[in-house]
Amino acid sequence: MLSCNSALVAIASEFTGQYAPYQSVQLTPAPNGGLWITATDKGNVACLAFDPSGSSDRTYNILPNSELIRASRGVKTASRTLTLEGSTAKVTTYRKTTSETKEMPFSESSSDLPDLPGAIQTCIARWEATDAKTATAGRYSVSYVQRAIKGLSSISSSVTLHSFDGGPMRIQEATGDIVILVMPQTAEPIPSIPDWIYKYSQLKPQI
């Protein structure tokens, strides 16, 4: 049986791939409590989340369907919990004085997600070793960045963005419980500040 914040699963489902083994959202119990929620579409983008209140008796690789995603999406006026038991998913919406539960079937992938933790280890090592000044910048797909910010906007009104030279852009919301990594299309020299910005900065205020 599994229980977690359904909004995190809905966001992660936006970053799965079309083909196995990338079609699923992986929900993994952490050794000291809580639940990791991860997804990737074959390396272009990855979503990593942690629900400190989540729990599970095993790892699930669920195949998100439209009904489950729609029911799980976060709302700012209530909290939602996803529970999995057998082949049934339940999403319960808790409001101040009422609660409502929707039930639906769900399926699991027969394939495990590839070694995403190993890739993240490499990223962490690079983040920790990056000098204050870097030589290159990543060029990122606008659609991936938009999807990341749109997904996070369901649970937070602000995000932080950070990238190392030519590497993944790390987008996360205020609590730090969910992180989206957008991989660069290319690593390029950091672009020069456009000349018009310099000129605009010298503009004198009109009296």
Report pLDDT digits (tens) over 166-205.
678 899 888 888 999 998 888 888 777 777 666 766 756 5
Place of tokens 């609590």: 175
The C-alpha atoms of residue 109 and residue 23 are separated, in whole angstroms, by: 8
Angle, alpha carbons 22-24-25 (nearest 5°): 120
- Cα 78-8-177 angle, rounded to 5 deg: 100
Cα–Cα dist 54/39, whole Å: 17
CA dihedral sign, ordered 62, 68, 74, 77: negative
Q: Residue 9 corresponds to which amino acid?
A: V
Model pLDDT for residues 125-141, shown as the tens digit of each residue: 876 775 555 667 788 89
73 C-beta neighbours (distance < 10 Å), count:
17
DSSP 33: S
Rg of the chain, C-alpha, whole Å:
20
Task: Give me the residue label for tokens 């910005």.
Answer: 197
pLDDT at residue 167, as a whole number: 78
- What pLDDT is recorded for position 132? 52
Coil, strand or helix at 23: coil
Ranges of residues in the chain whose predicted pLDDT is under 70? 127, 130-135, 164, 166, 196-198, 200-201, 203-207
Cα torsion angle, 52, 16, 158, 92, sign:
negative
